[in-house]
Structure 1
Amino acid sequence: MRIAVIDLGTNTFHLLIAEIVDQRFEIIYKTNVPVKLGEGRINENIIIPAAFERGIKCLENFAQTINEYEVDHIKATATSAIRSAQNGTDFVAVVKEKTGLTIEIINGNEEAELIYLGVKLSGAIQDRSLIIDIGGGSVEFILCDTEKLIWKKSYNIGAARLLQQFFKSDPINDIDKNAILNHIQTQLSDLFEKCEEYQPKILIGSAGAFETFAELIINKQNDHVDIKNVKTYHFNFDEYIATSIELLNKDYTERAAMPGMIPLRIDMIVMATLITNYVLGRLKLNKLSLSTYDLKMGSLAGFL
């Protein structure tokens, strides 16, 4: 059985095609496109025309690839940017008309569930953990242990939302930094209550920004690790902290020049760093790991 999974994120659209035989899978095609659907007016809940067109064009290309691979089943999910946009359902309708693809708009809880399934599939959950997935529109947190999901919630504090609302200085100054941290603190009060109750031992970052953190450290240390071909990566905590301080102290040009940085994340990574460091500090955690498996792998897990 051949499966195509499409993940329509706020920043990036992903396509993964896998062959499933006897409850085992092999990924035979994988790509992502920085569509930036949340560009411009995400906090006003609007997909602007240029982003709308980029999204349609990308999905037309995905549909062509899916046809070429003679896929049996397609699962396409849309998350924060589309579910919160006033014209999100219009986008889904135009995609259906132009490509034949049926997109399911999932809510935050469903998104968190799929992220958990993806991270679980990677084998990253070795202790009581807090999973974090920093998207452009939303951030999902999942408390879990090696056996079960304990608690989950999605928050509208994604990197693109914070960027558009608060990022007015570069390098980011203390005024903007404090405004972001105050906003995060207000939004995440119930998360910290749950963490007080369940005491996670490690923070697991789901793909995205955490892959960039890993790439920056690997390049700086000249390590021989290919993030594209591993399921998990364990950060040296001191190296992560040093890298995060660099990211907060550099401007756009300096961040762009860092080996391992990708264009999409040059600004977004500042927001992701602030969120990650705040959560680590508030929970007094000094263990951080990466799962390269995320929502799309959670969607795939549903077919296994």
Structure 2
Amino acid sequence: MTHNVHTQHEQYLAALDIGSNSFHFVLARHVNQQIQILHAEKYRVQLAQGLDNTFTLSSKAIARGINALEKLATSSQHITPDNFRAVATYTLRQATNAEQFLTAAKRIFPFTIEIISGHEEARLIYQGVAHHRQTNEQQLVIDIGGGSTECIIGQAYQIKTLDSLQLGCVSYQQAFFSDHVISQQAFERAIRSASHQVDSIIKRFANTGWQHAIGTSGTIKAIAKIINAEQEISREITLEDVENLKATLLTFQHFDEIDLPTLKETRRNVLCSGVAILLAIMRCFDIKTLGYCQYALREGVLFEQLENLKHNNVRQRTVESFISRFNIDFHQAENVKSQAVDIYQQVAESWQLTAPIYLELLTFAAQLHELGVDINASSYQKHGKYIIEQADMAGFNQEQQYALAWLVGNQRKKISPYNVTAEYTLTHQTLHKLCVILRFSVLLNQQRYTQADLNLKVNGINNRFEVYLDKQWLIDRPIISTELFYEQQILEAINVTLIVQSNKY
């Protein structure tokens, strides 16, 4: 008798953090509802160095990133796509030609790459730290990356407040230490710039409060190791320690001269900028001591995968919180959702909508379709779209959040184009089909009728959407009958032909 390696008690999970300075890969094993980390790899890519003043990513930077992904793809063949999550952060968020990178990656890397927002990055970083550091204290977590810095306050697994600031060790090296010369003037300019950004969140964070400060990821790790080089047991670093490290760095005139214990060659060029950013943060937040946690974004991604395996979907929790927050009519939302799911199940195979994310997006759009009603009932779909576009939606990557906003915004009336240049996992053709299902579900329920007597049959063939309704049912509902006539014209804008027939079951 043979046994599958991936049993319900043990299966492999993997996460990839496509950062601005390095790509971090981690492989773990899921055993008895716990994560056991087995292996980690780091690829120094420095994507952020390839961003120019117009936020265009250079071909050389793209090539470095693709080369790292190609190596990783070879060693990750045993991992299933469902168990591998790759997230991209600041540089691909900012790059105007991010689709060029994603398209090239798709050719050689068999796993989906998600570009996540700064707030989503912060949330996942905190999840990594919270799972490693079990405490009931309210803690401030700081992660200085290559292009952005995330600051989060939380208690246990609950986040109180967070933000993502556009300051990172690679971008600051380019801005203030581009000639690799070390000077007091360069340090002060970098610290002043970083302090200006940190000042924008000081009041909110101070009002929330914290008992302990924790740093994570490569920049703070490198600084802590240098400071603790002569210590048998590593201790928390102090503001005075970081000030002294800055003074030591000023004894060197050029990056090439830096000679400090434990400093890796790959960190030499971004050490001064990292120290400047950390000094600004510790001074602004009045942090006297800072601990270090080895878990960060990639571990947060792993633990979220584990939560999803337990059917504790973060995106679903986010949607449920919006339903409560915006006083959405739960009964109506569930009616539209039920109708949408019924139609989806009839056309999913013929319309090739079988990927789980399609049903998720459709049900979320149905649940949130009246999100903007409290603002303006006559144009509520526009307000719902805006809220979703601008909100901090935990669990959604940028592509998913924009797609959800577009669906909600086009549930009724005129359909606006899906203007996304980079289509990686969701194509406009797919979203058009989901939009048809959502619009039809909203239309059938717009008068808040009970649809117990509706025996609806639909069929999706290429760009045709065939609907079979009882003739008497339509006669009894003249408003819906009229709306269906206009809907045929509207759907032509997305190249979908709506055919309504009666008495065929």
1:289-300 alignment, distance < 5 Å: 289-300=291-302
Q: Give structure 1 stretches of 5+ with no counterpart.
A: 226-232
1:114 counterpart = 2:121: no
Structure 1 residue aligned with 2:32, among 16, 22, 26? Answer: 22
Aligned residue among 184, 207, 212 for 2:217:
207
Q: 1:272 to 1:248 in 2, by over 3 A?
A: farther
Q: Which amino acid aligns with 1:275?
A: I
CA RMSD of aligned residues (A): 2.2
Partner of 2:198: 188
In the alignment, which residue of structure 1 is the partner of 2:56? 46
Equivalent residue for 2:169?
159
Change (3 A) 1:201 1:211: same
C-alpha deviation, 1:34, in angstroms: 0.3
Taking the aligned partners of 1:247 and 1:9, their CA distance within structure 2 comes to 26
Distance 1:133 1:246 in 2: 23
Aligned residue in 2 for 1:144 = 154
Structure exhibiting the larger radius of gyration computed from Cα positions: 2
8 Å CA contact 2:51–2:57 kept in 1: the answer is yes
Tell me, yes or no, if structure 1 residue 6 matches structure 2 residue 24. no
Distance 2:184 2:228 in 1: 29
**Aligned letter for 1:5?**
A
Q: Which has the higher contact order (CA 8 A, sep 6+)?
A: 1
Helix, strand or coil for the counterpart of 2:48?
Answer: coil
Distance between the aligned counterparts of 1:180 and 1:166, measured in 2? 6
CA distance in 1, matches of 2:183, 2:268: 17
Q: Deviations over 1:229-283 (max 9, x none)?
A: xxxx63366545433432354341342x212111222121211111111221222
Cα distance in structure 1, aligned partners of 2:34 and 2:50:
41
Q: Which has the higher strand share?
A: 1
Cα deviation for residue 214 of structure 1 reads: 2.4
302 and 168 in structure 1: CA distance in 2 versus 1, 3 angstrom threshold: closer
Answer with 277-286 or 65-74: which moved more: 65-74
The partner residue of 1:253 within 233, 250, 256 is 256
What count of residue pairs does the alignment treat as equivalent?
295
Structure 2 Cα separation of the partners of residues 264 and 125 of structure 1: 33
Aligned pairs for 1:73-152 (under 5 A) are: 73-123=83-133, 127-146=137-156, 148-152=158-162
> In the aligned structure 1, how far is the partner of 2:172 from the partner of 2:124?
24
Equivalent residues of 2:138, 2:212 under 8 A apart: yes
Contact 2:83–2:305 (Cα < 8 Å) also in 1:
no
1:58 Cα deviation from its structure 2 partner: 0.7
Please name the residue that 2:182 is paired with. Answer: 172
TM-score (norm 1): 0.88
The answer to whether 1:63 aligns with 2:73 is yes
From 198, 203, 225, the counterpart of 2:208: 198
Q: Check the 8 A contact 1:252/1:267 in 2, yes or no.
A: yes
Residues 83-114 of structure 1 deviation map (CA, whole Å, 9 limit, x = unaligned):
11112122112111222221000011110000
Aligned to 2:76, the other structure's residue is in SS state helix
Unpaired segments of 5 or more residues in structure 2? 1-10, 307-505
Moved more, 171-180 or 81-90: 171-180
How far residue 24 of structure 1 moved from its aligned partner, in angstroms, is 1.3
Q: Which amino acid aligns with 2:70?
A: E
